[in-house]
Chains A and B, each alone.
Chain A
Amino acid sequence: MSNSTSNSTPAEHNPPNLRAEVDGLIAEGAFDLASRRLAQLWRRDPASATASFVTSRLEQLRDKTRDKLALTKFKLAILRSFTVEPIVPLLRAEAFAYGIDLEVHVGDFNTYVQDMLDSQSSLYRFAPNAVVLAVRTDQAAPELWRDFADLAPEVAQQAAERVVRGYEQWIGAFRKNSQATLIIHSLERPSTPSLGVLDDQSEAGQSGLIRQINRELLRIAAGFHGVYTLDYDALVARQGSEHWHDERKWLTARLPIAAGHLLQMAREWMRFIVPLSGRTAKVLVVDLDNTLWGGIIGEDGMNGIKVGPEYPGAAYQALQRALLDLSRKGILLAVCSKNNIDDAMEALEKHPGMLVRAKHFAALRINWTDKAQNLREIAQELNVGIDALAFLDDNPFEREQVRAALPEVTVIDLSHNDVPRNPLEYAAAVRNCAAFERLTLSSEDQQRTEMYAVQKQRAGAEQSFQSKEDFFRFLEQEAELEPVSDLTLARVAQLTQKTNQFNLTTRRYTEPQIAQMAKQPEWHIFSIRVRDRFGDHGLVGVAIAHDEGEQCEVDTFLLSCRVIGRTVETALLAHLAESAAQRGRKRLVGWFLPTKKNAPARDFYPQHGFERQETNGAGSLWTLDLKSSNLRCPDWIKLKITTDLKNGR
């Protein structure tokens, strides 16, 4: 594909037309379509000039729709030791393509230490969701960067330790002043160390000491909630140090990164921003013929399709390994293929070259129906929103059809400027998609595929019972309620960020925010873990409430959809009511704030005896008199309540 940039390809003529089309649509007031065309323009030509156009039209759309675009807002601050301004439009355009409206604050040159230490700084006034600390080695560790060969070994070692102590101190101050996520760039090693190959012979050399600092940064980050490292050194190496850097721009404009790589920097930041803003994909739906294997099973047969350890089948094995890695991160896999089911299943179950098997897929749609309809059904079967789906298909017509019918699906591009990618690049296309990034991994994530398999058995059993109550008794559900602890903090925060359907207020919290709340005596944060005769659902629900005068207000109440409708929600609410009554509160109150997705939670309060107290533009407030309430945990749920984890930490 390397020759595709040298001549003007047909795609080159499209961008100016798309630009005119976007402007026409904005003038007509067709804002949704304008927004889709703008994203399409960005996908076709993700370059600096396009980024300026995209961000300027995004501003227009934001003004004209009074901020009603279906975008997630996110505020990012960049603290830096180099020029990042030209990267900002690229970053905002890339974020827009992921459905994120990104607001960016850039700190002054090299004021990052003051900015982090001073609680009144412009950094904290900006109230960012996340902060990137983009500092290069020449600034963070100048002694180790220049004239290194001049330093005595013990002086060099002390310099490295001083750098680490500095970071430790600033990050500690940052965490006291802000609950935002912090992303620290690791320090890059020099591409040509002072002493040449001699430097590599010792861990105490220039590269060795910088590596030592980077290891320490990982250790420091692990000691805080919501602090992560971005391996800048590895990023530079991956792109090639000699191509990445532009010495001319560095000396004249303090911009160390070459024009052609600014987008890579933006994309690396997106790998953090996408999971932090909750715009992730939960399911990857894959095609079979010429995507999961080479060739067409219905025509080429078991002996004809290509998948195995040798070229060309190796390309498809590499893709399958990437899929298995996603599955290990808790991303579900599904199949959507136009095929005869017997042909496809034979290959999925028996072909010796296959690494993924039928059991790895949580849903299968192998038929001749249109793919958009199949995707809708898959989302329904797996109980996720359409926007939680990603779609991988080698056929550009299928991709366009899905994009047009279901614009909220993340469609993975298997072409570049309208030229199909080589199958050898498929694995990288999946691995580089930021929608699959995760910043934490819970045990629930790792077992998700098995859990969905068990869920199918449950659904089967439900059919065979006459009454709901008989089914509930048969399930033998056990619920374990406990206050949030260090062990559950990450999962609790993750649930507030990801749960859309059974979520009464849809308030998103980061780990540091949850940790901060848990310290307040008037705040109560519970998690619920559910198990039944078929298996363990894991930690699936969160309730957050705080006492104020005579009442206790429910701030957050959410449950993963896979346990909804089995009365676990009643058990959790009953516990909130009982514990509030024990603390002497007279009323339990809570808001229902409607969103596009939380209709399943709409009648939750009235169904449990709450009375409507008020309604405003945002939602409705419900109240339950604790004295007269008969809200109880259903007797078919075995409840285990742990109360005193908070002090036991």
Chain B
Amino acid sequence: MTASTFEQVRNVASDIFGIPADRITAESSPETIENWDSMQHLNLVLAIEEKFGVQLEPEDIEQMKNIGAVATLVEKLQSTAR
């Protein structure tokens, strides 16, 4: 994943989970972020779809285990869209 996609994903996650961006790493996950529950997961999915103009499949959503995986997924979807 590129730095810029990761940073943008991190900014989105920072807004959604209400924690500073510099405290979010590629490994941040529902285990390390306290309020990453199922409703916030939905909010994250919607914010990502809106921000990057992509459509996530239910299978993709299951793979979003941590922030790094989200950024990788976004890049994959953006490259196949082109």
Contact = CB atoms under 8 A, between A and B. Distances in A.
Question: Top 10 A-B pairs ranked by shortest CB distance?
Answer: A49-B15, A259-B49, A48-B47, A259-B46, A49-B47, A53-B15, A49-B12, A259-B50, A52-B15, A252-B58
A52 B47 CA distance: 10
A260 interface: yes
Contact of A260 (B42, B43, B50): B50
Nearest to A53: B15
B46 to A, nearest CB: 4
A49 B42 contact: no
A5 B12 CA distance: 17
A248 interface: yes
B51 interface: yes
Given A49-B51, A252-B61, A262 B46 contact: yes
A86 B11 contact: no
A32 interface: no
Nearest to B62: A252
A47 B43 contact: no
B58 A86 contact: no
A49 B21 CA distance: 13
Interface string A51-93: 0110010000000000000000000000000010110010000
B2 to A, nearest CB: 13
Nearest to A12: B8
Contacts of A262: 46, 50
Nearest to B38: A253
Contacts of B47: 47-49, 52, 259
Contacts of A252: 58, 61
B3 interface: no
A255 interface: yes
A16 interface: yes
Nearest to A83: B42
Nearest to A59: B18
A64 B75 CA distance: 41
Given A86-B46, A251-B58, A258-B49, 12 more contacts: A47-B50, A48-B50, A49-B12, A49-B15, A53-B15, A85-B42, A86-B43, A255-B42, A260-B49, A260-B50, A262-B46, A262-B50
A433 B49 CA distance: 26
A510 interface: no
Interface residues of A, number: 23
Interface size bracket, B side: 20 to 34
A337 interface: no
Nearest to A85: B39
Interface SS of chain A: helix, strand, loop or mixed?
helix
Interface in A225-249: 246, 248
Contacts of A48: 16, 43, 46-47, 50
B57 interface: yes
Interface of A: 5, 16, 47-50, 52-53, 56, 83, 85-86, 89, 246, 248, 251-253, 255, 258-260, 262
A53 B18 CA distance: 7
A258 B18 CA distance: 23
Contacts of A260: 49-50, 53
A251 B12 CA distance: 25
10 contacts: A16-B11, A47-B50, A48-B43, A48-B50, A52-B43, A52-B47, A86-B43, A248-B56, A248-B57, A262-B46
Nearest to A257: B46
Nearest to A57: B18
A48 B17 CA distance: 12
A248 B46 CA distance: 12
A47 B43 CA distance: 11
Interface in B41-82: 42-43, 45-47, 49-51, 53, 55-58, 61
A260 B51 CA distance: 9
Contacts of B57: 248
Nearest to A5: B53
A244 to B, nearest CB: 14
A262 B43 CA distance: 11
Contacts of B50: 47-49, 259-260, 262
A302 to B, nearest CB: 46
Contacts of A52: 15-16, 18, 43, 47
Nearest to B56: A248
Nearest to B60: A248
Nearest to A255: B42
A47 B51 contact: yes
B63 to A, nearest CB: 14
A56 B18 contact: yes
Nearest to B16: A52
Contact of A50 (B15, B21, B45, B61): B15
A256 to B, nearest CB: 13
Contacts of A251: 58
B18 A86 contact: no
Nearest to B42: A253
B6 to A, nearest CB: 14
A470 to B, nearest CB: 66
Contacts of A50: 15
A248 B58 contact: yes
A255 B58 CA distance: 13
A405 to B, nearest CB: 30
A49 B53 contact: no
A49 B51 CA distance: 9
Interface string B13-27: 001101001000000
Nearest to B41: A253
A251 B39 CA distance: 15
A56 B46 CA distance: 18
Contacts of A89: 43
B16 A86 contact: no
B39 A49 contact: no
A106 to B, nearest CB: 11
B19 to A, nearest CB: 10
Nearest to B57: A248
B60 to A, nearest CB: 10
A556 B51 CA distance: 49
B71 to A, nearest CB: 14
Nearest to B39: A85
A86 B50 CA distance: 12
A86 B53 contact: no
A258 B55 CA distance: 9
A49 B16 contact: yes
Contacts of A16: 11, 21
